[in-house]
């Protein structure tokens, strides 16, 4: 695969010095997608760039009658925030190239740090309590996580794009945080996303946002799921007459 597989093309100049970059490529439970879009909406972030590759699927998203690239970067100079958002999961063979490009771009543009996410699917019947752990790429950011009372992942594994970002940032001594989130359902994990944002509020008070709407959406989804399960229960329970 050619070295310059991934390109970040900027069409609007925004000063990103000391900004935080949020990686919104899809994760299990869509946590990264929920979080990235929430920040874009909350701060009304401007589109400034897109991530492109000849190996990306031939896809365009239409918003407000306009075609949009499937992997985009929105940002705010005032909020010191940049957010990647995407509607597709890149092919595994592109993961390393994308991660390396994101980190290189962040360093070249003098950003402050990167936040990324990994969802870990747990078995049905587990505790169902949201568990979130953080992994920091540098001693400096790990100390900050401890100071803010955010639990660190002691042992385990991070895979995919977050792993590439963490490894690259450790090698280059650049601050990155990966939030590892245990999820229990195939549907979007709004409650877990809200918990993660509460941690981000602690880490970066200048980016603090209200998470009540996310908790409300979580309750709505959970209610709908309970209703569907209740409706389906008679179909799942065997009739006594069939098994006599």
Model-level pTM? 0.88
Tokens coding 163:
């792993």
Q: Do 118 and 176 form a contact (C-beta atoms < 8 A)? A: no
- Picking from 201, 205, 214, the residue whose alpha carbon sits closest to that of residue 150 is 201
pLDDT tens-digit profile, the chain (244 residues): 555 689 999 999 999 999 999 999 998 888 999 999 999 999 999 999 999 999 998 888 888 888 989 999 999 999 999 999 998 888 999 999 999 999 999 999 999 999 999 988 877 655 567 799 999 999 999 999 999 999 999 999 999 999 999 999 999 999 999 999 988 776 778 889 999 999 999 999 999 999 998 888 877 766 766 666 566 556 445 444 444 3
The CATH number that domain 7-211 falls under is 3.40.50.10900
Q: How far apart are CA 73 and CA 64, in angstroms?
A: 17
Phi and psi torsions of 48, nearest 5°: -135, -15
Cβ neighbours, 10 Å, residue 175? 19
Tokens coding 198:
């509460």
Tokens coding 62:
């239409």
Tokens coding 35:
């979080």
């Amino acid at each position: 695969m050619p070295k310059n597989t991934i390109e970040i093309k900027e069409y609007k100049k925004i000063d990103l010095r000391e900004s935080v970059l949020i990686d919104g490529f899809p994760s299990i439970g869509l946590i990264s997608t929920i979080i990235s879009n929430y920040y874009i909406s909350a701060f009304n972030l401007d589109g400034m760039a897109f991530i492109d590759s000849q190996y990306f699927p031939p896809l365009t998203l239409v918003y407000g009658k306009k075609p949009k690239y499937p992997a985009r970067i929105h940002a705010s100079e005032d909020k010191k925030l940049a957010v990647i958002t995407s509607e597709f999961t890149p092919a595994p063979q592109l993961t390393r190239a994308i991660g390396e490009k994101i980190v290189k771009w962040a360093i070249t543009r003098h950003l402050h740090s990167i936040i990324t996410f990994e969802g870990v699917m747990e078995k049905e019947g587990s505790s169902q309590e949201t568990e979130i752990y953080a992994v920091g790429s540098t001693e400096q950011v790990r100390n900050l996580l401890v100071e803010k009372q955010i639990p660190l992942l002691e042992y385990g594994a991070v895979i995919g794009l977050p792993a590439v970002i963490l490894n690259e940032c450790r090698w280059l001594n650049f601050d990155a945080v990966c939030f590892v989130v245990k999820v229990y359902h195939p549907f979007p994990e709004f409650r877990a996303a809200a918990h993660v944002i509460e941690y981000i509020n602690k880490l970066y008070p200048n980016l603090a946002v209200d998470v009540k709407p996310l908790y409300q959406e979580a309750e709505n989804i959970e209610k709908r799921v309970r209703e569907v399960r209740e409706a389906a229960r008679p179909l799942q329970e065997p009739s006594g007459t069939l098994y006599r």
